[in-house]
């Protein structure tokens, strides 16, 4: 049987949604547009059309939003971008920012 104290503790517990993080690709002067599109399709599971749109945002605006994820998934996506870019000889970089 629950005591009064147990019930009060249960009522005071508040469940919060985990914070979300935006992952952006950053523009550079060396990474090919085709590689960026391939990265967006392979790592971020975008369609060709979506990947092309994001690649143009990166190219023209300096960065493009790839997706919004939990911290752990955003961190993994950034590591995948870094690994694949390095293996392909490109300096492509991804960053994350806390979503507001």
Domains and CATH numbers, the chain: 28-93 (3.30.1390.10)
Digitized pLDDT (tens) for each residue of the chain, 100 residues in all: 555 555 555 556 788 888 999 999 999 999 999 999 999 999 999 999 999 999 999 999 999 999 999 999 999 999 999 999 999 999 999 999 999 8
HEC states along 26-89? ECCCCCCHHHHHHHHHHCCCCCHHHHHHHHHHHHHHCEEEEEEEEHHHHHHHHHHHHHHHHHHC
């Amino acid at each position: 049987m629950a005591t009064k104290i147990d019930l009060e503790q249960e009522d005071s517990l508040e469940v919060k949604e985990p914070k979300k993080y935006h992952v952006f690709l950053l523009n550079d002067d060396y990474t090919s547009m085709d590689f960026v599109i391939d990265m967006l399709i392979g790592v971020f599971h975008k369609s060709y059309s979506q990947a092309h749109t994001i690649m143009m945002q990166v190219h023209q605006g300096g960065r493009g939003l790839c997706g919004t994820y939990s911290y752990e998934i955003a961190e993994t996506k950034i590591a995948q971008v870094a690994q694949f870019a390095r293996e392909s000889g490109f300096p492509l970089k991804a960053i994350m920012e806390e979503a507001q």
